[in-house]
A and B are shown apart, each in its own frame.
Chain A
C-alpha cells in the first residue's frame, strides 16, 4: 500500500485527538509549501514531462530537502517513469512520497523517543547546539515534561559565557519549581557540571539536564570544551551523559547537516530536537539529517507554548505534512 493511502486510512478511522491537531497545526506552513504544491502541480499537468520534473525539483529544494538529495530523488523518479511508463502526475507524486519517506519509516520504526532512565541513580541529559537555536527554552519544556511525569529534575546552567544565559535558566527553574546549579560568569563550564553531578547524587535526582553555551561547529576549541564536559560528568556518574540532544533550528538551511556532523564528532548524540518547526515551511530537514547521519529526531517544537514540544511521531508528522487538512 502506498504511504498516502496508508495515512489516509489510519487517520480517517480514528477521531482527531489533541496530538494530531497539534501536528496538523504546527505543520500547516510546511504542508502548504509541500503537499499542497504537489497536489496543485498534478492538477496542472495531464501527463508528466520535463517541465513537470523541473517543477518537482523546485518544490523539493524550497522545502530545504537539499540539492543532492533532490537531484537523486528526481532522477530516480525519471528512471521509474521511463521504465514503467508511468505518466500520470498523481502516480508520480505518490511514488515520490513513497521513495522519500518509506526508507525513513523502515529505519525509524523502533525508536523510543522518551528519555531512557537508568534503574538507579541520576540520568544525565546534555543539551548542545549552535547559538540561538532555542536550547534553554527546549530544556525548560523537557524539564516540565518529566516533572509532570513525577521525576525529580535538576537544571545545570553550564552556559557561563552568554550574558543573561544563567538568569534565563534561573527564571525557568523558579517558574517550574525545580533546583538549579549555577557557576560563576565566565567560569569553567566543566566545573559547573561537576557540582551538578555531585548535587544530583546527594539529592536523589532522577534527571539532570545540562544547558551548554551555544557554539558554532567550526570553533575547534569550543567544541573541545564539550569533550571536557563529557569527561567530567562521566567521572562523577557512570556512563553519563546517558543522553545527548542536539537542538537544531528548523529555519536552518543546508548548514544543519554540517552542525549535526560536527557535534557528533565530539559527543555521542543520541537524539535531535527540531525547534521552531511551526514558523517555517520545510518538512525537508528531517529527511536530510536522517539521510546523512542516522540520528533520530526525538522531539519536535510545534509552537511557543510550554506543551508545544512534542514527542516525534512519524505517522503524525507525515499526516501533518502530507494529508492533514486542519479541519
Chain B
C-alpha cells in the first residue's frame, strides 16, 4: 500500500516540475524531501538519512536528465543506485578456514539467533557438504538449549551442550576442542540474547571472543529495529569486532532501514537475510531488493531504468514521421507493440506510472493475450505481405492462419487493427496541418 501512496505523492510533485535538462538544487528540493521522509519512515537512523541525502545531492548536481523522465524521478534513480552500492559489499561470503571455521552469533533478545544458527547449519550441511557442530551457549533463557537441540536433531547435525549450570565460556572452549579433535568443518555457537548496555553479559561475550577467536562474529539485527539499531550495532562492534550482520524477519512488512544505518555507520557487510520460519528460509542478501524496500519507490526506479533502455530517441522520431506519412506497414505495427512490451508487462507499466487508472488482472491478461496473437499472426506472413497488407486475400489469409495455428477471423482482426491505426495516423496528420490537435488532446 505504501507504494501507491508514494506514487500519488510524487505525481503531485512532478506535475509542478517543468522539463529541465539538468539536476539543480531547486528542481531536486521536493524530491529530496520525499526521499528523506521515506528513509525515516523506513527506520533509517536520522543522522544517516541526513548524511546520505547530502551525498546523493552532491552526486546528482549537474547531471543530465533523461528525456523521458523528470528531475524528481531521475534523482530517485540516482539515490537508489547509491543505496545499492552502499548496501552491497564484496565480502558477503562466510570466510571458511582450511581447518575449523568458528562462527559466533550474538545480538539482542529475540533477534533470531537460535533460528538463524539452525538455518546456517542447514545451509552449510546440505548445500556446502560441511560437517557442522552446533553449540548451545545460551544458559539463561529457559529452554534455549532445548530449542537448538530440536533444530539440530531435525537437521541431522551434531549438537554440543553442557546444561544450564555451566559457564558459556567453558562451553565454547569444550565445543571447540571437540570440533577440532573430531574433524568438524564448522562450529556454530549460539549465544544468549543481551542488551548492549549489560556490562556483565557483554564481558562474557568478550571472554568467549578472546579464547575462541571466531572466524566470524555475526550480529543478528531484527528487520523491525528502530532508530536505536545503529547504537546497538556499534556497541557490539566496539566490544567484539564483528565481521558481519544477519538481518532477520525480512519476510515481515517492516522496511528494514536498520540495514542501511548499520552499513553506513560501521561498514559491516550484511551477509544473510532471514526470510521465513523454516530452516531453509535463509537467503543471501540482495542489495538491490533492500534498496527498493527501504526507499519504497522501486516502481519509479524501474520506470526510469526501462525508459532509458527501451526508448531510443532516434528510432522513435523516425517511427513517428513514418506513421504520420501514412506509410504504415504491419511491421511497424508489430514494432510499435514490441516497444511497449519491452517496457514490461502492461500491468507492471500501469503500476509504475503514477496516476494511471487501475487495470484489473483480467483486463491485463486479456491485453497481453491479444499482443501474443498479433505477434504470431504477423510473424507468419512473408516480408512482402507485411509491407503490403492489401494483398492479403482469401488464400494468403488461409496460409497465414494455418502457419500460426489460429483462425481466419483472428487474421482479419489484425488487418482491421492495422487499417484503423493507419486511418488514425492520416487523421492526425491532417490535424497537424490544419493546426488543430485531435479531440481530447490539449484541451482539458
Which residues from chain A sit less than 8 Å from chain B, CB to CB?
Answer: 29, 58, 61-64, 66-67, 130-134, 136, 161-165, 167-168, 170-172, 175, 216-219, 249, 251-256, 258, 276, 278-282, 285
Residues of A contacting B398 with CB < 8 Å? none
Interface residues on B, range: 35 or more
Which residues from chain B sit less than 8 Å from chain A, CB to CB?
Answer: 37, 40-43, 45-46, 108-112, 114, 118, 141-144, 146-151, 154, 195-197, 222, 224-229, 231-232, 248-249, 251-255, 257-258, 277
Measured CB to CB, the closest approach of chain A to B121, in angstroms, equals: 13
Given known pairs A132-B109, A132-B222, A134-B110, the reply for A255 and B146 (CB within 8 Å) is no
Residues of B contacting A216 with CB < 8 Å? 249, 251-253
Q: Which of A66, A67, A164, A251 contacts B147 (CB 8 A)?
A: A164
Given known pairs A67-B41, A132-B111, the reply for A167 and B225 (CB within 8 Å) is no
Q: Which of B109, B146, B231 contacts A281 (CB 8 A)?
A: B231
Q: How far is the CA of A67 from the CA of B197 in the complex (A)?
A: 27
Q: List 29 A-B contacts (CB under 8 A).
A: A29-B197, A61-B227, A64-B226, A67-B40, A130-B249, A131-B112, A132-B110, A132-B249, A133-B110, A134-B110, A136-B142, A164-B150, A165-B147, A168-B142, A168-B147, A171-B142, A172-B142, A175-B142, A216-B249, A249-B110, A255-B43, A255-B252, A255-B255, A258-B253, A258-B254, A276-B109, A279-B197, A281-B227, A281-B228
Extra 15 A-B pairs, beta carbons < 8 Å, given A63-B227, A130-B224, A255-B255: A29-B197, A62-B227, A133-B110, A164-B148, A167-B143, A216-B251, A217-B252, A218-B251, A252-B224, A252-B226, A254-B254, A255-B254, A258-B254, A281-B231, A282-B226
Residues of B contacting A280 with CB < 8 Å? 226, 228
Residues of B contacting A63 with CB < 8 Å? 227
Q: Which of B45, B144, B253, B277 contacts A217 (CB 8 A)?
A: B253
Q: Which of B43, B149, B257 has the most CB of A within 10 A?
A: B43
Q: How far is the CA of A280 from the CA of B230 in the complex (A)?
A: 11
Given known pairs A131-B112, A253-B254, A279-B108, the reply for A164 and B226 (CB within 8 Å) is no
Q: How far is the CA of A255 from the CA of B43 in the complex (A)?
A: 9
Q: Which of A131, A168, A251 has the most CB of B within 10 A?
A: A251
Q: Which of A165, A254, A258, A278 contacts B226 (CB 8 A)?
A: A254
Residues of B contacting A171 with CB < 8 Å? 142-143
Q: How far is the CA of A64 from the CA of B257 in the complex (A)?
A: 13
Q: How far is the CA of A61 from the CA of B41 in the complex (A)?
A: 10
Minimal Cβ-Cβ distance residue in B for A279: B195
Q: How far is the CA of A280 from the CA of B226 in the complex (A)?
A: 9
Q: How far is the CA of A168 from the CA of B118 in the complex (A)?
A: 18
Is there contact, CB below 8 Å, between B41 and A254?
Answer: yes
Q: Which of B40, B41, B227 has the most CB of A within 10 A?
A: B227
Minimal Cβ-Cβ distance residue in A for B49: A61
Q: Which of A29, A163, A218 contacts B151 (CB 8 A)?
A: A163
Residues of A contacting B255 with CB < 8 Å? 254-255
Q: How far is the CA of A29 from the CA of B224 in the complex (A)?
A: 20
Minimal Cβ-Cβ distance residue in B for A129: B110
| Nearest 8 Cβ contacts at the A-B interface | A164-B147, A132-B110, A253-B226, A253-B43, A168-B143, A167-B143, A171-B142, A163-B150
